[in-house]
Amino acid sequence: MSIVLIDTSVFLNILDIPQHNQNRDMVFADMEASIRNGDTLLLPMASIIETGNHISQVSDGRQRRQAAKRFCQRVIDAIDGNAPWSAMRFWDSEQLKTWLAEFPDYAMRELGIADLSIIKDWESVCEDLPNRRVRIWSLDDDLSSYDRNPSSKLKIKK
């Protein structure tokens, strides 16, 4: 039973967002396996915000509206406990200030502030649950490398 943070790249496929759903079948197979394993799926705020931004850029207005409605319903379901994942808490101002102090170094690694916030969420969950596997479920190689097994200390698998 792992703790799995869902990245934007995965959430876009779950929601079937045009131009961002090429891996939908694989994502659903992986999600079903996670659910069978009893994993706890968490949806970081950055994934919610980034997904909403991608939806707003869908070129076809009808598809954009349909995607926006699916998105809103799935996020509400997560908040209300009616989805296979739970929405993570929003950041507080002190937390954000700390992350902003680190952001220039992450920017030099070509990681954006949303990715930084997901990494920081991952670190927080690792710290809170030292005996659980914690990973970022992403289709992006950089983020998917964040996978901490219970027998190891906070480290990144590369």
At 82-120, the pLDDT tens digits run: 999 999 988 888 888 888 898 899 889 888 889 999 999
Give residue 25's domain range: 2-90+122-148
- Evaluate whether residue 41 is within a structural domain: yes
CATH (domain of 50) = 3.40.50
At 16-74, the pLDDT tens digits run: 999 899 999 999 999 999 999 999 999 999 999 999 999 999 999 999 999 999 999 99
- Evaluate whether residue 36 is within a structural domain: yes
Distance separating the N- and C-terminal Cα atoms of the chain: 22
pLDDT band at 158 (very low <50, low <70, confident <90, very high): very low
Centre a 10 Å sphere on the Cβ of residue 57 and count the other Cβ atoms it contains: 11
- Evaluate whether residue 65 is within a structural domain: yes
Q: Which residue has the tokens 């996020």?
A: 75
The reported pTM is 0.88
DSSP designation for 153: -
Do 146 and 121 meet the contact criterion of CB atoms below 8 Å apart? no
Kindly tell me if the per-residue pLDDT of 154 is higher than 60: no
∠ CA 76-118-115, rounded to 5°: 115
Q: How many domains does the chain have?
A: 1
